[in-house]
A = this chain, B = another copy of it.
Amino acid sequence: MPRVKTHLVTWDEVVDWSRNLARLVRESGFRPDLVVAVSRGGFVPARLVCDFLGVENLASIQSQHWTEAAKAGERAILKYPYRLDASGLNVLVVDDIVDTGETLRLARDYVRDNWGPREVKTAALQWISPVAKYRPDYYYLEVKEWVWFQYPWTRLEDTYQFIKRMMSEAYRETGRREWGFSEVVEGFREWYGIDVGEAYYREALRVLVEKGVVDYDAARDRYVLRV
């Protein structure tokens, strides 16, 4: 039983989900002239949705969650707001997974209020309904129970964060600081119940060394958690 419930999203699933998301849009009668990816999560699904719907125009907008310690809640901000002339166009704003929906709604509102489109709709591969404050116009999968969906485009970031967490908790629980490469791989599989493949474990350990989270003891071929 893994400690953290994780679903490794495969590329085949990404393609399948994007194709089905595009089908829902098509069946609704909405014909986008421009697809806008929410940066960074929406980039891959947006590109695939363009292929499946035959949309030539593809732009992006960076919306992200901002946790403000000073305030009670979270809010989304646009990182690089800019104006694009979308007058008369039907726009589809695309993201990968929607939790509270604040970033997607903000992107939608910004496009609607500043780009002059005819109509704006939103789409996501997955919608986590229990935490949602906003439901996208289109989504392919409704997620009702919390699982960490590990998308291929956050694989390195997730892998090093996961390894860091595993090492930190092992240290807290047992005082263990040293890990061989194969122990990291085995530990990762046990903790998260997924396997991201050797190249990602190697890159993730490189990143953790670079960030000063672990030291690499070359003589003994061991990774040592800095405490």
A residues contacting B by CB (< 8 A) are 11, 15-16, 19, 37, 39-40, 43-44, 46-48, 50-52, 54, 56-60, 62, 79-80, 82-85, 152-157, 199, 203, 207
Contacts and interface: CB of A to CB of B under 8 A. Distances in A.
A41 to B, nearest CB: 9
Given A43-B43, A44-B43, A82-B83, A62 B54 contact: no
Contacts of A19: 199, 203
A161 to B, nearest CB: 11
B82 A51 contact: no
A105 to B, nearest CB: 20
A110 to B, nearest CB: 13
Contact of A62 (B59, B83, B157, B203): B59
Contacts of A56: 40
B39 A152 contact: no
A172 B51 CA distance: 29
Number of copies: 2
Contacts of A157: 51, 54
A146 B207 CA distance: 37
Given A40-B47, A80-B84, 9 more contacts: A43-B60, A51-B154, A51-B156, A54-B156, A57-B80, A58-B60, A59-B60, A59-B62, A80-B85
Given A40-B58, A46-B43, A51-B153, A82 B82 contact: yes
Contacts of A40: 47, 50, 56, 58
Given A60-B59, A79-B57, A52 B203 contact: yes
A204 to B, nearest CB: 11
Contacts of A47: 40, 43-44, 153
A115 B165 CA distance: 38
B51 A62 contact: no
A67 B156 CA distance: 40
A82 B84 contact: yes
A163 to B, nearest CB: 15
29 contacts: A11-B152, A15-B152, A16-B199, A19-B199, A19-B203, A37-B43, A37-B60, A39-B59, A39-B60, A40-B47, A40-B58, A43-B44, A43-B46, A43-B60, A44-B44, A44-B47, A48-B152, A48-B153, A51-B156, A54-B207, A57-B79, A57-B80, A58-B62, A59-B60, A59-B80, A80-B84, A80-B85, A82-B83, A82-B84
